[in-house]
Amino acid sequence: MTLGEFEQAVERLSRQTSVQALLSETCRELVELLGAEACLISRVVGDLLIGLEEHVRAPRPRLGLSHEYLISDFPLTQEVVERGKPRDVSLLDEQPEPTEAVLLEQLGFDSLLMVCLPSAGACWGLVEVYRNRDRFDGEAAALAEQLAVVAGRRLEQLI
């Protein structure tokens, strides 16, 4: 990914005029920029995550919008929501976090990168980016976090 590609993604996010369009474009941009298979954005409501928008490269099945998960059932997810720092988990690791690994297996992916979608000083949502055959590195996490910050700023303007 080049700086120009990132700047173009930021520009596309800034042109979105609804929350749904912003979330959809954020998912699409992250899949493209990170060479991922899928991205899901969920809304944080107390201890609940509610799937709002996703982008999945064909021919994969959809991730399942409107699914609800308890944040407290997934320790790494909870850490992202509470601390606002990216976390990743991969079935390619020797001992991945067990509850996150089960979900990865169910969804049919090898690796997951999670970042907070910040808005108004809190974690408004959770961004999950999925990949196969490769882990996410620190550069991918930083890029996803930066794009989530941009999306969060735009979200504040739209809400």
Q: What is the pLDDT confidence band of residue 4, given thresholds at 50, 70 and 90?
A: confident
pLDDT in tens, 132-153: 999 999 999 999 999 999 999 9
pTM of the prediction?
A: 0.92
Give me 44's structure tokens: 């944080």
Q: What is the pLDDT confidence band of residue 103, given thresholds at 50, 70 and 90?
A: confident
Task: Report how many domains make up the chain.
Answer: 1
Q: For the domain that residue 10 is a member of, what is the CATH number?
A: 3.30.450.40
pLDDT in tens, 48-72: 999 999 999 877 656 665 578 899 9
Q: What is the pLDDT confidence band of residue 77, given thresholds at 50, 70 and 90?
A: very high
116 phi and psi angles, rounded to 5 deg: -75, 140
Say how far apart CA 125 and CA 27 lie, in whole Å: 12
76 three-class SS: helix
Residue 142: domain span: 3-158
